[in-house]
Chains A and B, each alone.
Chain A
Amino acid sequence: MSGAIEIAGLTKVYGDTRALDGVDLTVPEGSVFGFLGPNGAGKTTALRILTGMARPTSGGARVFGHDVVRATNEVRSLIGFLPDIPGYYPWMTAGEFLRFSGRLFGLKGPVLEDRVDSLLEMAGLADVTQRLSGFSRGMKQRLGVAQALINAPRLLMLDEPTSALDPMGRKDVLDMIAALKGKTTVFFSTHILTDVERVCDTVAILDCGRVVRQASMAELKHEGHAVRLLVEVEHGAEVLQPLLAAEPWATECTREGQVIRCIVSDMGAARRSVPALVAGEHLPLVRMVDEEPTLEDVFVEMVGGR
């Protein structure tokens, strides 16, 4: 799989601050890529460089092989971009803004009209005739995704598209992004972990201007991170907990009511011994399940709980 975005040694310095500090990153074509990091990690700076709004201090970036500094028009014709707070002309309607955006890409006639109609439909704005000055944040964000798709881009870049939205607005925008899976490459910056878990298949974690990890969601959750086993009994958990904690495969066991959670170093050994220990104490087993670490666990571990 070729890289839609290839970033090598990208550094951006503002005065004494290194917003980006030697970022290396490859975004596979066709992926929905989560660019995850706490506020101030450098996500927006990276996106500004990728879209030609800022220049790198050193290092470089390519979008589908085009240098983002030298070939800005080639890059822009291939991408769709939604900034964190999109600005609109308040006197326009949604349709007018989409037509204006389309014309900037050289679209016209029936092709433009068909695309405007389908994007308004997708954004749930087909019947909205009011001017953009009267739009809610959610409506503006949905229009933002629509305008970023007007040129049928090979790469859609979204900067914190859900951070300012209420739950319904978030759901609408995430549904729009999820619907793009398999149709275009999506590069999606956010600090909201649940959004990444919901729509992304690949993720990079940025912290203090550096990429601390890049992997698929599945790899990130499993590789080198603690695996937990949950054991629930009808009664007698207080008896079972010290027995489990004494096992060589148990790193740590905690109890909450009749539920015991163990951090496990050898899941195979744990699966073999837990039923025997429960049966040996004549305790009624309700459930025994592996618990995957959440992205939040991984994220906190990577960025040091900042």
Chain B
Amino acid sequence: MHGFAVFLGKEISEIVRTWRLYVVPGIMVFFGITSPIIAEVTPSLLSGMASSDVQNIVIEIPPATTADAYLQWSNNAVQIALFALIITVAGAIAGERRSGTAQLVLTKPVSRPAMVVAKMVSNWLLVLVTAVVSAALCIGVTALMFDTTLVREFVALVALWYLLACFMVTLTVTLSVLLKSQAGAAGAGLGVYFVMSILALWTVARDHTPAGMLGLGDRIVTGGEGLSVFWPVASTLLGIVVLAAFACWAFNRQEL
């Protein structure tokens, strides 16, 4: 891991000084503020549509709750924010290779695993800060519009989302090592996401693999009884470790 700290410093500077500071964080801040608002106005929008389109049918839509505000945040974060994350991280190694910076940097005393792990850690940090800010905004706006209940459950939901986001970052960096193309890595990352979404419908996979992370937070907020987070969390952590080790090994064997 020679050169890890220096390369991590470069990665953090790059995040702060380029478009990378605005894409995923911007999306997450937007969702933090708008999720409670969207949850609040959705019932009245649906009621209005139902009464204008269908006559003589009465549809009763219950008013939005605190849980709806947090579930709206979860839906946005698990889908749109993760898609954006996969697309932006896909160039992590492939971009360095394409631009020639990998050749210039890796002919200095920097180990290849240091570059791979620095890419992962910098994105984990970016997502952590982003998740904290977005969650804080969401809790604040929800408190103003609804109440302060379910904060503990929402924090658990955010923590689980963060773990899932770290897994997707690790997976996408690994794909960026293997596929040598940003578009290829992004496409493969999104493909894995959709496979996980399908697997989450199968109880065994949902309860024992990272696929279960996709809906785990929602189930906590809605008060799922007898819910066990151990296997999805443990398998996701194990997946992060195994993928990171594999990415380092694969990058070490490649010719640049």
Contacts and interface: CB of A to CB of B under 8 A. Distances in A.
Contacts of B9: 103
Interface residues of B, number: 24
Which of A89, A91, A151 has the largest count of B CB atoms less than 10 A from its CB? A89
Provide the main secondary structure of the chain A interface: loop
Contacts of B101: 87-89
Contacts of B18: 91
Contact of A51 (B7, B100, B107, B110): B107
A101 B3 CA distance: 10
A53 interface: yes
Contact of B107 (A76, A85, A100): A76
B109 A48 contact: no
Contacts of A144: 104
Interface string A237-254: 000000000000000000
Which of A76, A85, A101 has the largest count of B CB atoms less than 10 A from its CB? A76
B104 A91 contact: no
Contact of B108 (A55, A89, A105): A105
B227 interface: no
A104 interface: yes
Nearest to B253: A55
B99 A100 contact: no
A48 to B, nearest CB: 7
B99 A48 contact: no
A86 B100 CA distance: 6
B228 interface: no
A53 B109 contact: no
A86 B99 CA distance: 8
A101 B101 CA distance: 11
A73 B2 contact: yes
Given A86-B100, A87-B104, A104 B109 contact: yes
Interface string B1-43: 0110011011000100110000000000000000000000000
Contact of A81 (B10, B17, B107, B110): B107
Contacts of B106: 52-53
A48 B101 CA distance: 14
A77 B107 contact: no
B6 A77 contact: no
A77 to B, nearest CB: 5
A255 to B, nearest CB: 52
Nearest to B99: A87
A223 to B, nearest CB: 35
A295 B99 CA distance: 35
A79 B109 CA distance: 10
Contacts of B2: 73
B100 A48 contact: no
A165 B102 CA distance: 22
A23 B2 CA distance: 32
Contacts of A103: 6, 9
Given A73-B109, A76-B108, A91-B14, A85 B255 contact: no
A3 interface: no
A55 B255 contact: yes
A164 interface: no
Given A53-B106, A86-B104, A89-B101, A100 B10 contact: yes
Interface residues on A, range: 20 to 34
Contacts of A86: 100, 104
Nearest to B110: A104
A55 to B, nearest CB: 7
Contacts of B201: none
Contacts of B103: 53, 83, 87
A76 B3 CA distance: 12
Contacts of B54: none
Contacts of A88: 99, 101, 104
Nearest to A81: B107
Interface string A114-157: 00000000000000000000000000000010010001000000
A179 interface: no
Contacts of A53: 103, 106-107, 255-256
21 contacts: A52-B107, A55-B255, A73-B109, A76-B109, A81-B107, A83-B107, A87-B100, A87-B102, A87-B104, A88-B99, A91-B14, A100-B6, A101-B108, A103-B6, A104-B6, A104-B7, A104-B105, A104-B110, A105-B108, A144-B104, A147-B104
Given A73-B2, A103-B6, 6 more contacts: A51-B107, A55-B255, A86-B104, A89-B14, A100-B10, A105-B109
Sorted from nearest, which 9 A-B pairs have the closest CB atoms? Answer: A87-B100, A87-B99, A87-B101, A81-B107, A54-B255, A104-B108, A103-B6, A53-B256, A51-B107
